[in-house]
Chain A
Amino acid sequence: MRIAVRWAVPLLVAGLWELAARRTQDVFFPPPSAIVKRMYELWFSGPFVLTPDAVDNLLPSLGRMAAGLAVATLAGVGLGLALGRSARLMDYLDPLLQFARAIPPPTLVPVFIVLMHLGSAMQIVSIAVSAVWPILLNTADGARTVDPVQIATARVFRIGPADRLRRIILPSSLPKIFAGLRLSLSLALILMVFSELLPGAADGIGFQLTDAQSRSDLPTVWSAIVLLGVLGYLLNTLLLVVERRALRRHRTGGL
């Protein structure tokens, strides 16, 4: 019943769009059936579901995003823990971090193109540098606000710094880290697309999108947008599942 309600309105909207698009024949707004058909032809009608086109474009996109996000997570959590546990370090670096975070990430992409030339390495760096800030600042905040009594207790029991980090500081920072990760994930997706939209990009969903734009191929433009929406939804859901698992394990296993 709840599923029916959940899908009813979106399906109704899609149906109305279908009717309106068929009636008006507006080239800019193809009917949803045409978009779904194009998506199937382009990416999912291959011998093993994926077409060669999908293998050449979807996988590089996802690979670069995963790599960029992985680098951002490692660097963000590592640096964030250090900054969160050392007020002195935080004092020294705070203005630089605030400034770096305030730069709108697409601005950095031309910087990296100039420094590294357009390509996968440069795209991964763009994603990582843009996505690192929410994780870093949230981790620092989480590590800074660990209950001091827990730390003091651990000290009394002669639990070394490495164990304190692993067993107390990291687990109690986890909720904040995941809150940062959620923001970083959407930034990474934005930068993944943006870095592929630029002239000179060789492959990726964004490349297909801008390629279709230059040919005024509206059904493909819409297909790429829908595909990116689905990807965004799936990645968000995946992150939520991971988060729930990680936090549950921490809650039951931590004490």
Chain B
Amino acid sequence: MTPTPGRWLRGPAGVAAAVALSEILAATGAIPRDFLPPASAVLARAARLPAEPGFLGDLATTVTAWAAGLALAVLIGVTLGLLLGGVPAVGAALRPVLEFLRPIPSVALIPLVSLILGAGLTTEVTLIVYAAVWPVLFNTIYGLSEVDPVPRDTLRVFGFGRAEVMWRVSLPAAAPFIATGVRLAAAIGLILAVGTEILAGFGDGLGVFIAQAQQAVAGTLDVLAGTVWAGTLGLLVNAVLVVFSRRAFGWHGR
């Protein structure tokens, strides 16, 4: 295909067109400003939010809970995955239990965990871990099932122990699959972080900020500005993970 000159400009042009459209709709009164503020107002408000007292703290709370939850989920998911995928008997025994647990929509656990642990960071992290562990776990198991058996068996023949072979062959070979699982887990973890905060409605967190703005008179602008931050957070997280897995597994051709 021949490269089209100026092709990279199309993305920004699309964004500019969308902003302009929302501006026209607001200026002509087709959509009243206090019902749905135009994009320029929302973006300006979003840019000013970090200067508001407490907002950066809210953001930090959400990011902390999310990062802690994701780290724990990766630790648990990979360990369990190695156990289930690496030791067939354990896998066969525990797999059905997991198949029963996995379909439960994670947000359904918010009321239960809130009752047991109370509102707060522990509840939020617990829920993030529960939701985020599944993609990591199942991608680890899947990754292990795709490992080339020849190097694995070769090392076994040379007398390396099961754990050693796992560490030297299976885990590195499964790593790209695990990375995909971590990206899915990061997205679902953010869903649970913000979701738990919105339902809690008080305390700190980006979700709390949005939930409280929703209650406020003329809070639409803040709700939308908070949503812009949530989207930015999601984009950043995804970008970081994509760059990381490209760096780490560039050799894993696609």
Contacts and interface: CB of A to CB of B under 8 A. Distances in A.
B198 to A, nearest CB: 6
Contacts of B106: 190
7 contacts: A5-B92, A104-B190, A104-B234, A107-B231, A110-B223, A190-B107, A194-B195
A78 B92 CA distance: 41
A9 B15 CA distance: 54
A96 B15 contact: yes
A102 B111 contact: no
B234 A95 contact: no
Interface string B88-104: 00001110110111011
Contacts of B210: 107, 110
A32 to B, nearest CB: 12
Contacts of B100: 10, 229, 233
Interface stretch (A37-45, A67-75, A162-170, A219-227): A219-227
A198 B103 CA distance: 22
B85 interface: no
Nearest to A187: B191
Interface of A: 5-7, 9-10, 13, 28, 88, 91-96, 98-111, 113-115, 186, 189-190, 192-194, 197-199, 206, 209-210, 212-213, 216, 218, 221-222, 224-226, 228-233, 236
Contact of B11 (A10, A91, A218, A225): A91
Interface stretch (B75-83, B112-120, B155-163): B112-120
A236 B11 contact: no
B14 interface: yes
B96 A197 contact: no
Contact of B207 (A10, A98, A107, A224): A107
The B interface, classified by DSSP as helix, strand, loop or mixed, is helix
A3 to B, nearest CB: 10
A115 B110 CA distance: 25
Given A10-B97, A113-B214, A194 B231 contact: no
Give the bracket for the number of chain B residues in contact with chain A. 35 or more
A94 B17 CA distance: 13
Interface string B1-22: 0000001001111110110000
B35 interface: yes
A152 B176 CA distance: 36
B219 interface: yes
Contacts of B104: 225-226, 228-229, 232
Nearest to B94: A9
A229 B223 contact: no
Given A104-B195, A105-B191, A106-B198, A189 B105 contact: yes
B224 A96 contact: no
B103 A218 contact: no
B198 A110 contact: yes
A95 B14 contact: yes
Contact of B96 (A7, A111, A212): A7
A4 B213 CA distance: 53
B230 A111 contact: no
Given A94-B11, A104-B230, A106-B198, A221 B112 contact: yes
A152 to B, nearest CB: 15
Interface string B232-253: 1111001000000000000000
Contacts of A216: 115
Contact of B105 (A5, A210, A212, A232): A232
A110 B214 contact: yes
Given A102-B232, A221-B115, 7 more contacts: A92-B11, A104-B187, A104-B190, A104-B193, A106-B194, A209-B111, A216-B115
B227 A13 contact: no
Contacts of B11: 91-92, 94-95
Contacts of B223: 110-111, 114
Contact of B115 (A28, A113, A236): A28
Contacts of B109: 225
B184 to A, nearest CB: 9
B199 A198 contact: yes
B30 interface: no
A193 B105 contact: yes
